[in-house]
Amino acid sequence: ARPAAPVTPVADAVSALKEEIAHCRRCPLHCAATQAVPGEGPADAAIMLVGEQPGDAEDLAGRPFVGPAGQLLDRALAEAGLDRDRLYLTNAVKHFKYEPRGKRRIHQKPNAGEVQSCKWWLNREIALVRPRLIVALGATAAGALSGRAVSVTKERGPMSFGEAQGFVTVHPSFLLRLPDESAREREYRNFVSDLGRVRKE
Ligand code: URA
């Protein structure tokens, strides 16, 4: 038999937390979702990235940021010199919220109550991983982390989240939604530049 991979007590605790998240019934979103999507990454990651909620692809895969927004994020991280495998990636809300439309499932923004219910898990992920820096991708994550409404346009950049040092930037889906190619390219460059700052923080 192969020897078990070495695990630290914190890595064990992160695995146990994932198992708890899998059984979450704290709000009704679990009813329609395929499964909960917990965070993933090394338990000793220095940087945690927080998105909004899993999308269609993440709901099916059970992993965060594997769909179109995740692919864009991967490209931007690589360009900024950040190694995805060394980051802890998670979401403010752990279940996919959507509206069925024919065969499609249309993303719906989580409401304040759903974000608040799920903050329980985000707090526990933060307490275990204890990242040096927490990056909020978009307003939902920034709102969950700060406990107030955040305007990404006005407050982009460093922000403290309670005791933790934080940084607010756009969500990669925002870039995907921009209809104009030149705006998309400009905003993508700004996003890569933010991630470059994150790497140096
Ligand atoms: N958008 C998010 O906010 N999180 C994911 O995991 C995927 C898309």
- CA 2 / ligand 1 centre spacing (Å): 35
Render pLDDT for 3-59 as a digit per residue (tens, 0 to 9). Answer: 766 678 999 999 999 999 999 999 999 999 999 999 999 999 999 999 999 999 999
The DSSP letter of residue 32 is T
The DSSP letter of residue 2 is P
- CA 3 / ligand 1 centre spacing (Å): 34
User: Could you give the ipTM of this predicted complex?
Assistant: 0.93
Kindly state the average pLDDT of the residues 83-112.
98
Task: Report the nearest atom of ligand 1 relative to the CA of 65.
Answer: 6
C-alpha distance across the termini of the chain, in Å: 43
Amino acid 6: pLDDT:
67
Residues composing the chain: 201
Q: Which tokens is 155 given?
A: 């407050």
Kindly state the average pLDDT of the residues 102-123.
97
- CA 55 / ligand 1 centre spacing (Å): 5
Task: Report the nearest atom of ligand 1 relative to the CA of 64.
Answer: 6
Task: Report the nearest atom of ligand 1 relative to the CA of 137.
Answer: 3
Distance of CA 58 to the CA centre of its chain: 11
Q: What is d(CA 131, CA 84) in angstroms, rounded to the nearest whole number?
A: 14
Q: What is d(CA 199, CA 79) in angstroms, rounded to the nearest whole number?
A: 11
Q: Decide: 70 and 78 in contact? Cβ < 8 Å.
A: no
Render pLDDT for 161-191 as a digit per residue (tens, 0 to 9). Answer: 999 999 999 999 999 999 999 999 999 999 9
Distance of CA 149 to the CA centre of its chain: 17
Among 21, 37, 65, say which to mutate for ligand 1: greatest number of ligand atoms within 8 Å of CB. 65
Q: Which tokens is 17 given?
A: 């937390």
Indicate if the pLDDT at residue 158 is higher than 70: yes
Amino acid 7: pLDDT:
75
Residues in the ligand 1 pocket, defined by CB under 6 Å: 51-55, 58, 64-65, 67, 69-70, 91, 173
Place of tokens 């990404």: 152
Amino acid 201: pLDDT:
87
Average pLDDT, the chain: 96
Place of tokens 């607010």: 168
Confidence of residue 102 (pLDDT cuts 50, 70, 90): very high
Amino acid 157: pLDDT:
98
The DSSP letter of residue 95 is S
Radius of gyration from C-alpha coordinates of the chain: 16
- CA 173 / ligand 1 centre spacing (Å): 8
Nearest CA-CA partner of 108 in 92, 95, 97: 97
Among 40, 60, 91, say which to mutate for ligand 1: greatest number of ligand atoms within 8 Å of CB. 91
Amino acid 5: pLDDT:
66
